[in-house]
C-alpha cells in the first residue's frame, strides 16, 4: 500500500514537529541545571530547572513513530515507553497539556503527577510507562478489549530493543499470538540499552526472528526511513484489523542524543551521533515530497514556520501555566 | 395442629459465595469478565469461579497461560478500555512474577494520569497456610498490597461478607485486591473453620468497604483481626469466656480503606488490644494497628501494653509441628489474651 500524498505530508510534518519539540526540550531541559547556577562542586543538577527529573529524547527516531501512526485512528491504542514524545506527538496527544506535564504544571496531562515518562491522554488512547517492557502486555489488554467489544481497533506497543529481553515482552507475544489479538509490537533498535550495545545484550541480531518462536510474522525494517516503516506497519495493521493476529516489527533507528539529557555518552565512539545525523530521515522525506511536487521551497518554509510556532506555543503554555497546589499531591489516589 | 417450620436460611461456603457474587455481577454488567489460570473448566483451584464457564462461556471466563505478567498487564489494558476484568492470581505467593504490573501500573496509573484514567479491575487471590504447602504457597502478604497506594484491599472471613464485599469490589472503579484464605473457603479437600460457611441471601447485596465488623462483643479485651484468624478468635473467645474473660472481636474486613474508628472505639471500651494476624510480624498489619492506637493514647486509656500475635518473621515451614508453631493457633490466642489480662502499664 503506497502512502497517499496526504499521508506523506502528514509524516513529513510530524517528523519536523517531533524534531523541533525534542531539540527545544534539549535546550529547555538544561536551563538551571549547569554551573554556576547549581550547588558548588556539581557538574549537573538533575532536579533543578523548569523541567526537572530524567529526560529521554527521541530525535532521530521519528520514522518509527510516524510510519506506524500514519495508519492509526483515534480509537486505536498506543502504549509507549520511557522515551515517549515522538509516539505521543504522532498519536495526536495534546501538545500543550503534554508539555505542561513535563513542566510539572496543573494544566498537564496528569496535573503534574506523571512527568515525561508517564503521559496519559485517554482522548487519543495514549499511555506510556517508565518500566522497560511493561507496555507490551497492556497493549494486549487493549487489543483484547477491542476484540471483545467487536471493534476493529488495534493496539500498538512501542519499546526499545532492550525491552525485548524482558519477560513481559515474551509473555505478551505468546498471549497475543495465542488469542490472535489485533496488536502490533514495534521494537525500536537504537543500538543501545542505555550504554550497553545490542550485541552485548541480545543473543541474536534481529528481534524480528523471535516472532517465529511465537507463531507470528516478524518483520525487520533495516532502514531508519519513514516510508519503509510505513510499508511494514501498514501490512501489519491491516492484518490485525482483519482479525488475523499480531505482528512483531523491529526497526533499526538512530538515537541522536544520549540515553538521557546530561548523559556523558562515554560508551559511544566519538563523533558517532554526528555521523548518524548525516543520514537524517527528515531531509530524505523532504526531498521525496518536493520531487513529487507536494511541496515547494516556499510552502516547505511556511510549513516549518507553522511548526516552530506551534511547538513554541506549547512550551510557552507549559512554562506559563500554574503549578498545582502542594497539597494536591493527596488527590487522585483513588477514583471517586 | 401443625406448625409451619421456618424456611431454613441457605448457607454457602465462602468459595460458593464469591462465585455467586461474580456470576450475579456478570449477569448485571456485560463488561465484567474473568481471566486467570484454571478459572474455566477447573473452576479455579480454590473454587472461586466454579460454574462460571458453563454459564458465561469461554469468552467471558478465560483460562490464561501460566503467564501472570502477561495477563495482569492485559487486565490493566482491558480496564483502561472500559471493561471490568476479574483477574485471578492463583496463590498470592505468585505476586513475585507479576508485581510490576500490579504495584507500578495498576496501582499508580490513575494517580499519574491526574485522575484522567480509570482502572476498574479486581485481582482475586488465595492466601494462607495451615495445610503444609510450605514457604512459597502459604503466605498472606496482604500488608504488601495495602502498603502500596492505589490498591483497595479486601480480606473476608466468611461467606456472607465475601459475597457482599466481592460485589462491591466488582462495582468499584478502582483496582481492588480480594484475598481469600484457603482455609475458610469450605473446600471439600482441605479442613476448614465451619464458622466461615454461613447464611447467604440469594439476591445481590453490597457491603461497603471501610466498615469493620464487631463479630463478638466483649468488655475485657479487643482482638483486632481478619480472615481465617477471625474464626480462630471466635473459638478462642469461647474458651476465654469459660474463664470469665470477655473478648471483643473486630473483623477488619478491608485493609484499604481501614475502619480506624471501629478499632479505636473498641479499644477505648476494653482498654486492652491484641492484634492477631497470619501475616509476618514485622513491618506489617499488626504494627499498623498498634501504631494507630499509640497515636490516640490522648483519648484512649490502656490497661495493658498492646500485644501482637503473628508469624514470627520466618518463612512458613513445611513440617506439621513447625508450621503449627509458626502460624498463630487458637491456643496461642488464648494464651496471649490471658497474658494481656495479667499485664500492667507502669
Burial category of A113 from C-beta neighbours within 10 Å (exposed 0-12, middle 13-18, buried 19 and up):
buried
Chain A CB within 8 Å of residue B240 CB: no
Give me chain B's average pLDDT, please.
97
Cell digits of residue A165: 529481553
Interatomic CA distance for residues A80 and B191, integer angstroms: 48
Interatomic CA distance for residues A142 and B151, integer angstroms: 21
pLDDT in tens, B41-90: 999 999 999 999 999 999 999 999 999 999 999 999 999 999 999 999 99
Dihedral in degrees, nearest 10, Cα atoms B253, B257, B261, B266: 20
Asked whether the beta carbons of residue A335 and residue B111 sit closer than 8 angstroms, the reply is no
Residues of A in contact with B79 (CB under 8 A): 141
Nearest-CA distance A47 → chain B (Å)? 19
CA–chain centroid gap for A259, Å, is 14
**Region for residue B223 given its phi and psi (left: phi exceeds 0; alpha: psi -120 to 50; beta: otherwise):** beta
Whether residue B200 contacts residue B130, with contact meaning beta carbons closer than 8 Å, is answered with no
Whether residue B161 contacts residue B207, with contact meaning beta carbons closer than 8 Å, is answered with yes
Interatomic CA distance for residues B176 and B32, integer angstroms: 14
Interatomic CA distance for residues B311 and B301, integer angstroms: 28
Using the CB atoms, write b or e for A126-155: b if 16+ within 10 Å.
Answer: bbbbbbbbbbbbbbbbbbbbbbbeeeebbb
pLDDT in tens, B212-263: 999 999 999 999 999 999 999 999 999 999 999 999 999 999 999 999 999 9
Asked if residue A232 has pLDDT above 50, the reply is yes
Residue with cell 473459638: B235
Asked if residue A62 has pLDDT above 60, the reply is yes
pLDDT in tens, B143-177: 999 999 999 999 999 999 999 999 999 999 999 99
Interatomic CA distance for residues B231 and A214, integer angstroms: 48
Q: Class of the B11-199 domain?
A: alpha beta
Interatomic CA distance for residues B337 and B240, integer angstroms: 8
- pLDDT of amino acid B346: 86
Whether residue B16 contacts residue B186, with contact meaning beta carbons closer than 8 Å, is answered with yes
Residue A120 half-sphere exposure toward CB, CA atoms < 13 A: 26
Q: Phi, psi (5° rounding) for residue A149?
A: -90, 0
Euclidean distance between the first and final Cα of chain A, in Å? 47
Asked whether the beta carbons of residue B116 and residue A120 sit closer than 8 angstroms, the reply is yes
- pLDDT of amino acid B3: 53
Q: Where are the alpha helices (DSSP H) in chain A?
A: 5-30, 62-69, 85-91, 95-102, 135-148, 167-178, 226-241, 272-276, 281-291, 297-320
Asked if residue B2 has pLDDT above 80, the reply is no
Nearest to B178 by CA among B243, B108, B249, B121: B121
Q: For chains A and B, count residue pairs whose Cβ atoms are closer than 8 Å.
A: 149
Beta bridge partners of A36: none
Residues of B in contact with A163 (CB under 8 A): none
Residues of B in contact with A333 (CB under 8 A): 110-111, 149-150
Interatomic CA distance for residues A142 and A145, integer angstroms: 5
Chain A CB within 8 Å of residue B46 CB: no
- pLDDT of amino acid B335: 98
Residues of B in contact with A102 (CB under 8 A): none
Go through the domains of chain A in sequence order and give each one's CATH number.
5-321 (3.40.50.970)
Nearest to B129 by CA among B309, B296, B320, B260: B320
Interatomic CA distance for residues A262 and B93, integer angstroms: 41
Q: Is B110 a catalytic residue?
A: no
* CA distances, B163 to each of A248, B19, B36 (Å): 43, 8, 20
**Domain ranges in chain B?**
11-199, 213-342
* CA distances, B157 to each of B79, B145, B165, B177, B183 (Å): 28, 18, 11, 15, 10
Dihedral sign from CA coordinates of A100, A106, A110, A116: positive
- The helix, strand and coil proportions of chain B, stated in percent and rounded to the nearest 5, come to 40, 20, 45
pLDDT in tens, A82-112: 999 999 999 999 999 999 999 999 999 999 9
DSSP assignment string, A118-146: ---BGGGTEEE-SSTTTHHHHHHHHHHHH
Nearest-CA distance B214 → chain A (Å)? 27
Residue B8 confidence class, pLDDT cut points 50, 70, 90:
confident
Residue B79 half-sphere exposure toward CB, CA atoms < 13 A: 34
Of B68, B88, B248, B323, which residue is the catalytic one?
B68
pLDDT in tens, A108-156: 999 999 999 999 999 999 999 999 999 999 999 999 999 999 999 999 9
CB nearest B69 (choices: A148, A171, A332): A171
- pLDDT of amino acid A194: 94
Interatomic CA distance for residues A299 and B299, integer angstroms: 76
Q: Class of the B213-342 domain?
A: alpha beta
Q: Is B105 a catalytic residue?
A: no
Chain A CB within 8 Å of residue B175 CB: no
Complex ipTM value: 0.96
- In Å, the largest CA–CA distance within chain A is 61
pLDDT in tens, A243-265: 999 999 999 999 999 999 989 89
Using the CB atoms, write b or e for A218-254: b if 16+ within 10 Å.
Answer: bbbbeebbbbbbbbbbbbbbebbbeeebbbbbbbbbb
Give me chain A's average pLDDT, please.
97
Q: Where are the alpha helices (DSSP H) in chain B?
A: 14-28, 52-56, 68-80, 99, 109-112, 142-147, 159-171, 228-242, 260-270, 285-294, 320-326, 330-342
Q: Is residue B181 classed as helix, strand or coil in its secondary structure?
A: strand
Asked if residue A235 has pLDDT above 50, the reply is yes
Amino acid at each position: 500500500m503506497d502512502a497517499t500524498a496526504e499521508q506523506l505530508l502528514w509524516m513529513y510534518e510530524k517528523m519536523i514537529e517531533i524534531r523541533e519539540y525534542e531539540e527545544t526540550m534539549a535546550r529547555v531541559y538544561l536551563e538551571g541545571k549547569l554551573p554556576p547556577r547549581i550547588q558548588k562542586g556539581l557538574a549537573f543538577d538533575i532536579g533543578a530547572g523548569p523541567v526537572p527529573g530524567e529526560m529521554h529524547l527521541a530525535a532521530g527516531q521519528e520514522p518509527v513513530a510516524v510510519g506506524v501512526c500514519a495508519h492509526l485512528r483515534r480509537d486505536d491504542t498506543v502504549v509507549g515507553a520511557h522515551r515517549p514524545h515522538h509516539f505521543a506527538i504522532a498519536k495526536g496527544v495534546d501538545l500543550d497539556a503534554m508539555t505542561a506535564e513535563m513542566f510539572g504544571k496543573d494544566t498537564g496531562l496528569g496535573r503534574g503527577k506523571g512527568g515525561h515518562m508517564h503521559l496519559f491522554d485517554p482522548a487519543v488512547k495514549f499511555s506510556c510507562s517508565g518500566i522497560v517492557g511493561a507496555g507490551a502486555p497492556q497493549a494486549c489488554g487493549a487489543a483484547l478489549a477491542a476484540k471483545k467489544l467487536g471493534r476493529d481497533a488495534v493496539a500498538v506497543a512501542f519499546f526499545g530493543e532492550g525491552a525485548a529481553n524482558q519477560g513481559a515482552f515474551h509473555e505478551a507475544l505468546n498471549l497475543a499470538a495465542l488469542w490472535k489479538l489485533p496488536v502490533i509490537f514495534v521494537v525500536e533498535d537504537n543500538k543501545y540499552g542505555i550504554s550497553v550495545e545490542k550485541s552485548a545484550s541480545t543473543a541474536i541480531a534481529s528481534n524480528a526472528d523471535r516472532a517465529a518462536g511465537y507463531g507470528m510474522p516478524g518483520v525487520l525494517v533495516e532502514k531508519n526511513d519513514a516510508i519503509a516503516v510505513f510499508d511494514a506497519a501498514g501490512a501489519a495493521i491491516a492484518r490485525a484489523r482483519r482479525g488475523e493476529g499480531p505482528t512483531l516489527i523491529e526497526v533499526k533507528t538512530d538515537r541522536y542524543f544520549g540515553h538521557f539529557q546530561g548523559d556523558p555518552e562515554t560508551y559511544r565512539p566519538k563523533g558517532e551521533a554526528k555521523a548518524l545525523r548525516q543520514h537524517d530521515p527528515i531531509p530524505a522525506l523532504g526531498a521525496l515530497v518536493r520531487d513529487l511536487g507536494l511541496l515547494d521551497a516556499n510552502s516547505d518554509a511556511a510549513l516549518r514556520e507553522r511548526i516552530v510556532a506551534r511547538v513554541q506555543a506549547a512550551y510557552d503554555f507549559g512554562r506559563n501555566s500554574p503549578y498545582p497546589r502542594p497539597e494536591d499531591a493527596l488527590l487522585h489516589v483513588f477514583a471517586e | 395442629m401443625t406448625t409451619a417450620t421456618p424456611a431454613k436460611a441457605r448457607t454457602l461456603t465462602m468459595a460458593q459465595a464469591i462465585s455467586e457474587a461474580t456470576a450475579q455481577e456478570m449477569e448485571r454488567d456485560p463488561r465484567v469478565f474473568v481471566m486467570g489460570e484454571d478459572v474455566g473448566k477447573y473452576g479455579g483451584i480454590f473454587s472461586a469461579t466454579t460454574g462460571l464457564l458453563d454459564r458465561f462461556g469461554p469468552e467471558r471466563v478465560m483460562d490464561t497461560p501460566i503467564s501472570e505478567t502477561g495477563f495482569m498487564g492485559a487486565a490493566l489494558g482491558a480496564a483502561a478500555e472500559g471493561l471490568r476484568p476479574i483477574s485471578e492470581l492463583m496463590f498470592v505467593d505468585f505476586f513475585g512474577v507479576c508485581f510490576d504490573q500490579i504495584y507500578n501500573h495498576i496501582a499508580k496509573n490513575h494517580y499519574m494520569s491526574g485522575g484522567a484514567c480509570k482502572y476498574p479491575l479486581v485481582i482475586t487471590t488465595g492466601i494462607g497456610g495451615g495445610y503444609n504447602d510450605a514457604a512459597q504457597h502459604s503466605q498472606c502478604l496482604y500488608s504488601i498490597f495495602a502498603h502500596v497506594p492505589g490498591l483497595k484491599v479486601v480480606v473476608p472471613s466468611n461467606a456472607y461478607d465475601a459475597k457482599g464485599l466481592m460485589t462491591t469490589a466488582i462495582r468499584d472503579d478502582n483496582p481492588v485486591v480480594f484475598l481469600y484464605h484457603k482455609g475458610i473457603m469450605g473446600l471439600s479437600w482441605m479442613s476448614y473453620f465451619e464458622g466461615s460457611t454461613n447464611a447467604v441471601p440469594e439476591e445481590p447485596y453490597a457491603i461497603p468497604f471501610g466498615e469493620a465488623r464487631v463479630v463478638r462483643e466483649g468488655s475485657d479485651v479487643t482482638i483486632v483481626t481478619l480472615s481465617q484468624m477471625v474464626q480462630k478468635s471466635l473459638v478462642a473467645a469461647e474458651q476465654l469466656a469459660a474463664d470469665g474473660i470477655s473478648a471483643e472481636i473486630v473483623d477488619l474486613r478491608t485493609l484499604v480503606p481501614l475502619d480506624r474508628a471501629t478499632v479505636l472505639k473498641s479499644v477505648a471500651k476494653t482498654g486492652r488490644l491484641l492484634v492477631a494476624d497470619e501475616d509476618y510480624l514485622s513491618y506489617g498489619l499488626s504494627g499498623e494497628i498498634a501504631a494507630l492506637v499509640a497515636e490516640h493514647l490522648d483519648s484512649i486509656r490502656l490497661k495493658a501494653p498492646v500485644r501482637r500475635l503473628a508469624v514470627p518473621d520466618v518463612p512458613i515451614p513445611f513440617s506439621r509441628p513447625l508450621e503449627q508453631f509458626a502460624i498463630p493457633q487458637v491456643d496461642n490466642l488464648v494464651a496471649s489474651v490471658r497474658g494481656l489480662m495479667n499485664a500492667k502499664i507502669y
